Amino acid sequence: MRRARRIEKVPPYLFAEMDRKRREAVARGVDVISLGIGDPDLPTPDFIVDRLVHEARDPATHHYPPYEGTVVFRQAVATYYGRRFGVDLDPDREVMALIGSKEGLAHLIWAFVDPGDAVLVPDPGYPVYGTHALLAGGTVVPLPLRPELDFLADLEAVTAEDRHRAKMMFLCYPNNPTAGTADIGFFRRAVEFARDSDTLLVNDSAYVEVTFDNYEAPSVLQVRGAKDVAVEFGSLSKPFNMTGWRLGYAVGNPEAISALGIIKTNTDSGQFEAIQRAGAEALTSPAAREAIRRMRGIYQRRRDVAVETLTRLGCPVRRPRGSFYVWAPVPAGYTSAAFAAHVLEAAGVIITPGSAYGARGEGYFRISLTVPDARLDEAFRRLAACVTW
């Protein structure tokens, strides 16, 4: 058997590796607490589950769905964008349903990157952008996220040559993994950058509803003219605790959406229509605001526990306004990987080493606040017993 050379360039998927380590520790009898993957412990709100149960009984949902997503789901995404961001979307040309935003982010790259093309990828960043750029034969150009800029991408750092070569530029705000947040002024600069360099701007907005302290994160499409150069990817996973349902959307520039459709129609056959109907309910029901308010309150309390405990231990951590991650420097004398290994060994707690997100993640670790409060408290008790900064 001879596998394609392209997969030799790809490291094992971060969270698959972490899951392997977790299972090994559990097999050794360790009571492991995973603060690794961002998979909400909270259940999907009842009003969404009830809708799925109801729709799954309608045989009309049992067929292949339309490739681009159902009219009802795409209209619901457009309604959500109108109400939440004041952005008008044409559900026929500017919205596409996805089997989770990860799928769409990966496939968009295949629609835009030819061998040798450059792709600007946040460093540190969610691994999918860079991995698929490499698989498609592209060159990854790291786009530095700097702590002194509150982890905004340093657009000024991109050389004139890279600017010219770049076919795509990825952003992610609220940010995974650093929890940095962007305001509309930053998005304005990014749109201008994309326009000047003829680059497709892609904002991954999976965490746009996971925000604290009354902060409401913007959409890049709120920038005037953004649709000329940008697309945004959204997910139902994080706002509604639906990671296992696999439902997301791509919105924005119609040419980019149609290019994505060429890859997708030839690859998948869409998400189960009952899930799309329940997803439309999630995006448009009045019950959604209350569900989101409760979700924000829960993560905000957990964030405060995390930040206060780490600060007490001497860790210079920032108090994030968005995402359910806490990103902090490892203690002196450790690499990211050595610190994650130490914390698993000494405390039975899984954290994500920052180095897994790119060279600029070295020296950091990420905590996900997606475990029940009592387990989070227990994880911090154990951490406090085995680390100081």
Contact call for residue 102 and ligand MLT (CB under 6 A): yes
Contact call for residue 246 and ligand MLT (CB under 6 A): no
In whole angstroms, how close is the CB of 255 to ligand MLT at the nearest point? 26
CB nearer ligand MLT, residue 37 or residue 149: 37
Contact call for residue 165 and ligand MLT (CB under 6 A): no
In whole angstroms, how close is the CB of 164 to ligand MLT at the nearest point? 31
Nearest to 231 by CA among 379, 128, 112, 342: 112
In whole angstroms, how close is the CB of 363 to ligand MLT at the nearest point? 19
Contact 234, 290 (CB under 8 A): no
In whole angstroms, how close is the CB of 245 to ligand MLT at the nearest point? 13
In whole angstroms, how close is the CB of 68 to ligand MLT at the nearest point? 23
Q: Of residues 17-56, which lie at the interface with ligand MLT (CB under 6 A)?
A: 37-39
In order of 152, 179, 194, 196, 198, the CA distances from 157 in angstroms are 12, 21, 14, 15, 17
CB nearer ligand MLT, residue 173 or residue 193: 173
Contact call for residue 107 and ligand MLT (CB under 6 A): no
Contact call for residue 178 and ligand MLT (CB under 6 A): no
CB nearer ligand MLT, residue 166 or residue 282: 282
DSSP 10: P
CB nearer ligand MLT, residue 18 or residue 182: 18
State CA 140 to chain mean position distance: 19
CB nearer ligand MLT, residue 95 or residue 367: 367
In whole angstroms, how close is the CB of 52 to ligand MLT at the nearest point? 21
Taking residues 51 to 90 in sequence order and writing x for each that binds ligand MLT by CB under 6 A, - otherwise, the string is ----------------------------------------
Burial of 208 (0-12, 13-18, 19+ CB in 10 A): buried
CB nearer ligand MLT, residue 38 or residue 91: 38
CB nearer ligand MLT, residue 178 or residue 197: 178
Retrieve residue 210's tokens: 């996971």
State CA 34 to chain mean position distance: 18
Q: Give the nearest residue (CB) to ligand MLT.
A: 38
What is the DSSP pairing of strand 33-34 with strand 349-350? parallel
Contact call for residue 125 and ligand MLT (CB under 6 A): no
Contact call for residue 163 and ligand MLT (CB under 6 A): no
CB nearer ligand MLT, residue 75 or residue 271: 271
Q: Of residues 365-384, which lie at the interface with ligand MLT (CB under 6 A)?
A: 368
CA–CA distance, 127 with 132 (Å, rounded to integer): 9
Interior/surface letters 123-160, b for 16+ CB within 10 angstroms, e for the rest: bbbbbbbbbbbbbbebbbbbbbbeeeebbbbebeebee
Contact call for residue 313 and ligand MLT (CB under 6 A): no
Place of tokens 């509604």: 240
Contact call for residue 176 and ligand MLT (CB under 6 A): yes
In order of 122, 313, 334, the CA distances from 155 in angstroms are 10, 34, 30
CB nearer ligand MLT, residue 199 or residue 368: 368
In whole angstroms, how close is the CB of 289 to ligand MLT at the nearest point? 23
Site size toward ligand MLT (CB under 6 A) is 6
3-state SS string for 267-298: CCCCCCHHHHHHHHHHHHCCHHHHHHHHHHHH
Retrieve residue 318's tokens: 């920032």
Retrieve residue 259's tokens: 């290019």
Nearest to 364 by CA among 382, 384, 338: 338
Give residues in contact with ligand MLT (CB under 6 A).
37-39, 102, 176, 368
